[in-house]
Each structure stands twice: as structure tokens, then as C-alpha cells.
Structure 1
Amino acid sequence: MSKNNLQVYIHIVFCTKNRGVLISDTIEKKLYPFIWSVIEDNDCTPLMINGMPDHVHILLKMDSKVSLSDLMRFIKGKSSRFLNENYSFLNGFEWQRGYGAFSVSSSQVSQVADYVKNQKHHHVEGFIIENIEL
């Protein structure tokens, strides 16, 4: 085999500092495409990004050349810089330290993508993930 074939899917969740309610609908329309491009710039494949005013969910496919910790450092660092440069009223926006990252079976990717896509609905309804291998 002349090329690496990596089938590693990761569901990532990270929060604003102190779970501040800072990501408005207006901000997320710019933030999520920005994060998407950071993921692509690091040779990974973004599959779905969504979230709530205090946290972000990402579903992506990893690349063999990238470590998860490096990818998260780029995502969080570049996106916080983007937010501070474009939304000065956020007064020194920061992400909370750390993140959650969960492996996703290839058979569950579409189910997890739907979960990420429908974040706002899930939070309104108090939805809990069931029968998903995370």
C-alpha cells in the first residue's frame, strides 16, 4: 500500500472560558466556517460543526500526519485570535482549557453528524445521546 488509509473519526467538544454565553447566531455564521478552514488547512476532513452559545461540537476525520493535540491547539488558538480580531466587544475572548474528544465508529458517523447538526434542537428538548458508540 503506497498511501496511508486512516479511518479515524473524532467527535470533539470544547467550551468558552467559564462557559460564557458568547457565541451568538451572528458570530457562529463566521466562526464555524473559519474553524472548518483551519481543520482543512491541517489536512483533516471536517464533517460537521455546530454548537451552542457556550460550546462547539466538531465531527472530523483525522489525517495520519496530524496529532489531535496539535490540531486542537491550532483550532482553539486561531479561532480565539479570529474572534478577538473581528469581535472586539467579546473583550479578550478565550476558550476554556481542555476539550473532550471521542472516537466514533465508521458505522456511527452519520448518526453523530446528525447529533452535531441538530445541537440547538437537542438542547431545547434535553436530548441525550443513546445507542451511539462514542
Structure 2
Amino acid sequence: MSRDVYSTNNVVFDCKYHVVFCPKYRRKVLVSPIDERLKELFLLKANELQAEIVHMDIMPDHVHVLIRCDPQFGIHKVVKHLKGYTSRMLRQEFKQLTSRLPSLWTNSYFVATVGSVSLETVQRYIEEQKDR
């Protein structure tokens, strides 16, 4: 199985994260044309941050994003930038988002790592290093 790895000057990595977050009060505001514009803004900002949106799905009341990013920059910073930028831009472009929401996004989010190898495989690899 081939593995896509990325590198900076001093780190070689393969870090992907499943991130889920919701509009404030879980309001169902991410509908057309807002959802399409949100996708464009996510891609634009991720590119600026040198992160990659591997996959995304916008539901009316929440967002799923699969993100690859440099671990030195960190997933928290990527999510913070994505949420801040998209909130500001969407609220400027779609005034209906300002009437009932003090901000577009909740402060919280869910994040889980996504790996190309299982936990058991990594544990076995580490254990077998002594025998090499």
C-alpha cells in the first residue's frame, strides 16, 4: 500500500483529521447558495494555510471536513482560521446570517485523527524494532 507523505524543512508527515463543527445554536443556515460559497472559502483559506481539504460535506446545521495539515502548524490553528475567515466573509456576503446569529460558528468542534495504518500495526511495528 502506498502512503502519501508531505514534508517541510524538518518534518515528514501524514496527518489527516476529521473535523465537525456547527453554526451557533445549530441553526440550519448552511443552505444554497451559502453552502457553495462556504466550500469555496474553505478551499481558499486552506490553500493559504498550506493545508488541504481532502473531502468536505456541508449539511444545513453542521460541517464535516477531512483536513491534511502540517502538525507543526496544528489542526487547532487550521480550524480556528477556517471558522474565523468563513464567519467574517459569509456574514458580509449574506446579511441574513447577521440578523439571528451573534457569530456564525459555535466555539467548539469535534476532531479525530484519521490514519492509513491501524493502531495495532503501529504497536506491532514499535515492538518489533528491538528485534531488528
| TM-score of the alignment, normalized to the shorter chain, above 0.5 | yes
TM-score under structure 1 normalisation? 0.73
1:29, CA displacement in angstroms?
0.9
SS in 1 for 2:73: coil
Aligned residue in 2 for 1:48: 55
SS in 2 for 1:98: coil
> CA RMSD for the aligned pairs?
1.9
Distance 2:52 2:84 in 1: 19
4+ residue runs of structure 1 moved beyond 6 angstroms?
none
Contact persistence 2:17–2:75 (CA under 8 A): no
Aligned residue in 2 for 1:103: 113
Contact persistence 1:48–1:58 (CA under 8 A): yes
More helix by share: 1
Aligned residues: 108
Aligned residue in 1 for 2:78: 71
Aligned residue in 1 for 2:92: 85
Distance 2:72 2:114 in 1: 19
Pairs within 5 Å for 1:27-38: 27-38=34-45
Letter in structure 1 aligned against 2:37:
K
The worse-fitting range, judged by mean Cα deviation, of 61-70 and 75-84 is 61-70
Q: Is 1:18 the counterpart of 2:28 in the alignment?
A: no
Identity, % of aligned pairs? 24
Distance 1:79 1:86 in 2: 10
TM-score under structure 2 normalisation? 0.74
Q: Which runs of 5+ in 1 are unaligned?
A: 109-134
Distance 2:52 2:71 in 1: 11
